[in-house]
Each structure stands twice: as structure tokens, then as C-alpha cells.
Chains A and B, each alone.
Chain A
């Protein structure tokens, strides 16, 4: 049974359909990269999968449990962990409080990114954009659940931190966590993913195994 099973997902804003029929499944320990140009519908798909945007049609299941109409907090209980693209952390809370919300400590987070332990009492909104992303990834890693939905986790990170982020994703997958990775950074995505999907105008138009695909093939597909 897939950890995440999305079938015929339709979602959008103010009646406009941005995602027009998305199908995807993620097995335990599998990393799936969702790629596509700006406006392809990736973030809308993520919002619907995480529950912050109601699905207009289709179904979403986590570990076999239908969560299509469930609140995001219910999806969290079932093991979903989210790193969203914009404002991925609670800016008015301290670093430690951001972690405490998911039952994690600064020591847990420091295993991901050590600087977080030293700055645990700092208000999270005063971290740089990249540091905020690291906090969000560390938050997921500290209480990993079963399924990660990561929307541009490497955005704003320095190369060494992109590598660390990729390492955390691989370690989670090695422990059986399924990962949906939305990325503009194709190199990083293909470095950690088992499969790739390319979205265009709200639906998947191509997919493949990373082991059977070159970086150039995917780049060309994205450029179409």
C-alpha cells in the first residue's frame, strides 16, 4: 500500500483549476521529485495534498486512510510532515518553540543543522531565508513521521547546506520515510530521488526512473 496515493486531484483558487487531474503514489522509502516550470501547478498540488487548500475533485490517501477532506492536523497525525515554500516557519515563535510544536527538541534539530541549538532562543523570523528553510527541514527530520512533502527545501541554501539537506532526505528515506520533493534545483532533486515526474499545466506529462534518465533528458523535458 502506498504511503501517499493521489488520484485525479483537481485543485485551484477562486474556481480556477490549477491542478487538473494529478495522479501520483509514493511507496515507503521512496523519494519522488516533482518537477516543472513556474506556474505548472506544483505548489497548488502541494497545498491540496497537505490540506491547506481544499481539493475540488479526486482523492488523497495517506497509508490507506482517505484524507481528501481531512484537516492538515489530521494528516500530520497520520505521519505527514510539510516544508512549505514560502514562510516555512512560524516567524513570531522562537527556534525552540518552532521545534517544540512538533515534539522535537533543539538537540534533535542540531543533528540536522548544528547552528539551531546555539540559536534556539532566537525569534525564528530573525533567521535568514536560508536558515528558516534549514529550521523547517530540521523540524521534519527531528520528528520524521512517515511522509515528507517538501516544497523547494533547498531554495536560498548555500551549496554545503543543499548537500546537508539532500543527506537528511536520503537518511529519512533509508528509514522508510516516503518523500515528495518539489524542486527547481534539478541537480539536487535527481541526486536524491528515485523517480521524477514533470508537471505542466496542472497535470503530470512525463515521468521516469532516475537511474534510467540523464540530467539532460529531464532538463530538456522541462524546457518543452
Chain B
């Protein structure tokens, strides 16, 4: 096993982890603030991929498609929060079921518009660069860079800004935060919309690397949920979990195959949960 191989695998793991982390951080945030798990996260990823597909197809630059994916993800998330989740704010289990139903509706609508067949987005940055003797896709490097910047920005907002203090206050104790003047309903709407925008961003980033189809989100949803389950609802731990699971996933896929990789991820989640139950309370960062 030479150094170039290790660099290649390491960057591959980072690429996988960064996409998982984008979605899982949003999932963890909305879970902490609202007590709901968004079962339509994979479908918001799919919306991001189709946004890029559509914008590129009409001749706009790829980067416009990515920005549009974020905006569309944000707006649809805001609509979902206002139209669905707020109605069931006192019954989170119904809200969770609602997101499951929403995912089905989104898939059916996309299927009606685009059809069932897989479609493809051309890689906007073909070519590779040599890193440590390994050839690595430029596009994957950009994907890692964008994810790191977005995740870093989110962590900075959460830890250093007044908005971040309010988000952490509502996550810690929504009732008390409200009595201190924090408008928690509006804040939850924004946080949920940001979480769906991040899922949509992740979908738009992976679009050139995968088959774009109405059911594509389901393949990713499994890993996202395991990341949140293993990491708990603390976003810094979610990042660690995303990296650990990406290592297990990529190495097992390389050595055996992707099905065994899924089993290995499940086994890892089981071992972590058996050893110590990750906290769903406490500090959010």
C-alpha cells in the first residue's frame, strides 16, 4: 500500500464525509430545535440534484444551478415548516410521518415532470490534480472545499453570532428562550429551511458524480440517519460521526463491497450505541 493510494483513499473519505456532514448537520439541528426527524431529507437532496440538472440543461452555468438549489431547498423547507410542521408542533410523531408523506409526494411530482429514468449532469470541472503522487478529481476537491466552508460558516454562526446564541438557546430550552424574547417559531422556520437548503446543496454537489433519479435520496438517507444516531444531536459530534462512518464505508467498499459496507456501518452504529448512548440534550455545538 503506497502513499499515493492512501492519499487517494483519504480524499475519497473526506468527499463522502463532507456530503454526509452537510445533510446530517441540518438533520441534527432541526431535531434539536423541533424534536422532529426530517424523513424527506433525501428528497431535498434529490431536489438539489434536479435543480442543477435543470439549470445546466437550459444553458446556465453549473454554479448558478448550485445556488438555485440552495434557494429552492430553503424556500421549500420554509413552506414545509410553515405548512406542515407548525401544525403538528405539539405532536412531533405526526410531523415526522408528515415528512415521510411529503417525501413520497416530492418523488411523485419529480417523476411526473422528469420521468423515472436516470439522468446525468456533466462534470463541470473535469480533470485531476496530483496530490502526494495520487491523481485526484478536481471536482471532488471543490466538493470537499465547499462543504468545509459551509460547515465552518455554520459553526461560526452558531458559536459567535447573536443568531447562533438564539438557536442554541431554543435548542437548550425553548420555553425559557421564549420568555427571554426569542421568537422561537420564526427561528425554527429559519433553521428548518437552512437544513433543507443544506440537503439540497449536498444533492447539487453530488449530481455530477451520480445517477440523478427520483429515488436517489433514499440511498443517502440511510447513511445520514446513522450519522445523526451515532453523533447524537451535537453538531460537532455529528462531524466526527460523519468522518468515522465515511472511513468505515469507503474502506469496506474497497475491501469487500457496498452491501457489506452498509452492514459494517450498522454494526458500528450498534457498537457505539451499546457502549455509550449519544446525548440528545446538552450543548448543541
The reply to whether A93 and B181 contact each other, CB–CB distance below 8 Å, is no
Interface string of B60-73 (1 = CB under 8 A from A): 00000000000000
The reply to whether B175 and A73 contact each other, CB–CB distance below 8 Å, is no
Interface of chain B, main secondary structure: helix
Which single member of A82, A91, A93, A100 contacts B179 (CB below 8 Å)?
A: A82
Interface string of A101-112 (1 = CB under 8 A from B): 110000000000
The reply to whether B282 and A101 contact each other, CB–CB distance below 8 Å, is no
Which single member of A51, A92, A101, A139 contacts B182 (CB below 8 Å)?
A: A101
The reply to whether B173 and A87 contact each other, CB–CB distance below 8 Å, is yes
Is residue A121 contacting chain B, with contact meaning CB distance below 8 A?
no
Is residue B129 contacting chain A, with contact meaning CB distance below 8 A?
no
- A90-B169, A92-B283, A93-B169 known; A101 and B181 CB under 8 Å? yes
The reply to whether A50 and B172 contact each other, CB–CB distance below 8 Å, is no
Chain B residues near A52: list those with CB within 8 A.
175, 178-179
- A92-B282, A101-B181, A102-B181 known; A84 and B176 CB under 8 Å? yes
How far apart sit A97 and B177, CA to CA, in the bound complex (Å)?
12
The reply to whether A51 and B179 contact each other, CB–CB distance below 8 Å, is yes
Interface string of A55-88 (1 = CB under 8 A from B): 0000000000000000111011100101010011
The reply to whether A97 and B165 contact each other, CB–CB distance below 8 Å, is yes
Distance to closest chain A CB from B23 (angstroms): 24
The CB with the most chain B CB atoms within 10 A, among A77, A92, A93, is that of: A92
The reply to whether B165 and A84 contact each other, CB–CB distance below 8 Å, is no
How far apart sit A92 and B168, CA to CA, in the bound complex (Å)?
8
The reply to whether A91 and B172 contact each other, CB–CB distance below 8 Å, is yes
The CB with the most chain B CB atoms within 10 A, among A51, A71, A72, A88, is that of: A72
The bracket for how many chain A residues form the interface is: 20 to 34
Chain A residues near B172: list those with CB within 8 A.
90-93
Chain B residues near A82: list those with CB within 8 A.
179-180
How far apart sit A101 and B168, CA to CA, in the bound complex (Å)?
11
Interface string of B144-177 (1 = CB under 8 A from A): 0000000000000000001001101101110111
How far apart sit A93 and B180, CA to CA, in the bound complex (Å)?
13
Is residue B183 contacting chain A, with contact meaning CB distance below 8 A?
yes
Distance to closest chain B CB from A105 (angstroms): 13
Is residue B185 contacting chain A, with contact meaning CB distance below 8 A?
yes
Chain B residues near A77: list those with CB within 8 A.
181
Is residue B284 contacting chain A, with contact meaning CB distance below 8 A?
yes
Distance to closest chain A CB from B165 (angstroms): 5
The reply to whether B165 and A93 contact each other, CB–CB distance below 8 Å, is yes
Distance to closest chain A CB from B220 (angstroms): 30
- A90-B173, A90-B177, A92-B172 known; A73 and B165 CB under 8 Å? no
Is residue B184 contacting chain A, with contact meaning CB distance below 8 A?
yes
The reply to whether B169 and A72 contact each other, CB–CB distance below 8 Å, is no
Which single member of A71, A76, A87, A123 contacts B180 (CB below 8 Å)?
A: A76
Chain B residues near A90: list those with CB within 8 A.
168-169, 172-173, 176-177, 180
How far apart sit A139 and B177, CA to CA, in the bound complex (Å)?
13
How far apart sit A87 and B177, CA to CA, in the bound complex (Å)?
12
Closest to A96 in B: B165
Distance to closest chain A CB from B212 (angstroms): 40
Distance to closest chain A CB from B275 (angstroms): 24
The reply to whether A73 and B176 contact each other, CB–CB distance below 8 Å, is no
Distance to closest chain B CB from A159 (angstroms): 27
Chain A residues near B169: list those with CB within 8 A.
90, 93, 97, 101
Chain A residues near B184: list those with CB within 8 A.
71, 73
Chain B residues near A50: list those with CB within 8 A.
179
Closest to A53 in B: B175
Distance to closest chain A CB from B9 (angstroms): 37
The reply to whether B173 and A73 contact each other, CB–CB distance below 8 Å, is no
How far apart sit A76 and B177, CA to CA, in the bound complex (Å)?
10
How far apart sit A188 and B276, CA to CA, in the bound complex (Å)?
46
Closest 4 CB pairs of A and B: A76-B181, A72-B178, A82-B179, A92-B283
A-B contact pairs, 6 of them (CB 8 A): A72-B175, A73-B178, A90-B176, A90-B177, A92-B171, A93-B169
Extra contacts, 19 of them, besides A102-B180, A139-B180 (Cβ < 8 A), are: A51-B179, A52-B178, A52-B179, A71-B178, A71-B183, A73-B184, A82-B179, A88-B176, A90-B168, A90-B169, A91-B172, A92-B172, A93-B165, A93-B169, A97-B168, A97-B169, A100-B165, A101-B169, A102-B181
